[in-house]
Amino acid sequence: MRKLRNEELGRKSIEEFKNAQKLSIIVVLDNVRSALNVGSVFRTSDAFLIESVFLCGITAYPPNPDIHKTALGGENTVSWKYFKDTLEALEELKELGFKIFAVEQTEGSISLPDFSIDKSQKYALIFGHEVDGVDQEVILKCDGSIEIPQWGSKHSLNISVSTGIVLWEIANKWRQ
């Protein structure tokens, strides 16, 4: 076994990425305080051909050296939009016909493995602040919530880890 070289990976150019068929998913970051986490979300969104990232409130946006440090150029491939307020973003998403889900521990949340994909539907997935999670006002405007099952004592994951887990699971279901 040998490690593959970069040229063997079939990576898309920026232009190829922009023209590629994306999953009908928009990632919404609700007041994420770390630009490094934002960069990781861009990189993960690029990996799974996510349509766009909406950056809300105190969430940093490009150009930003800390975003670039972890995005490794993902901020140049994945389209993004900034909103002063997450509720503004949700209004736009609802007008565009997106089903909106917070990734949060709530009453009645759907366990990620049980979350079903309707490929004819567009989805927005909201990830929240590193300490406070998704704002309660935002949760009230959602169609539902998705929870990542956890069995340890912490019952929380870093936002970039949560994004990776959720996008991988949903992208995998979408491509089946």
pLDDT digits 0-9 by tens, 77-99: 999 999 999 999 999 999 999 99
DSSP character at residue 100: E
Instruction: Quickly tell me which residue has 């190829």 as its tokens.
Output: 16
CA 137 from chain center: how many Å? 19
Q: Look at residue 126 and tell me whether its pLDDT is greater than 90.
A: yes
Contact 33, 62 (CB under 8 A): no
CB neighbour class for 11 (10 Å; exposed up to 12, middle 13-18, buried from 19): exposed
pTM of the model: 0.96
* Planar angle of CA 62, 64, 68, nearest 5 degrees: 90
The DSSP string of 27-60 is: EEEES---HHHHHHHHHHHHHTTEEEEEEETT--
Whole-number mean pLDDT of the chain?
96
Q: pLDDT exceeding 90 applies to what percent of the chain?
A: 95
Q: Look at residue 155 and tell me whether its pLDDT is greater than 90.
A: no
Which H or E element spans position 82? strand 79-83
Residue (of 151, 158, 99, 98) closest to 129 by Cα position: 158
Q: Look at residue 139 and tell me whether its pLDDT is greater than 90.
A: yes
DSSP character at residue 10: -
Structural domains of the chain in order of their starting residue, each with its CATH number:
20-175 (3.40.1280.10)
Q: What would the pLDDT profile of 16-25 be if each residue is shown by its tens digit?
A: 999 999 999 9
- Please tell me the predicted confidence (pLDDT) of residue 58: 98
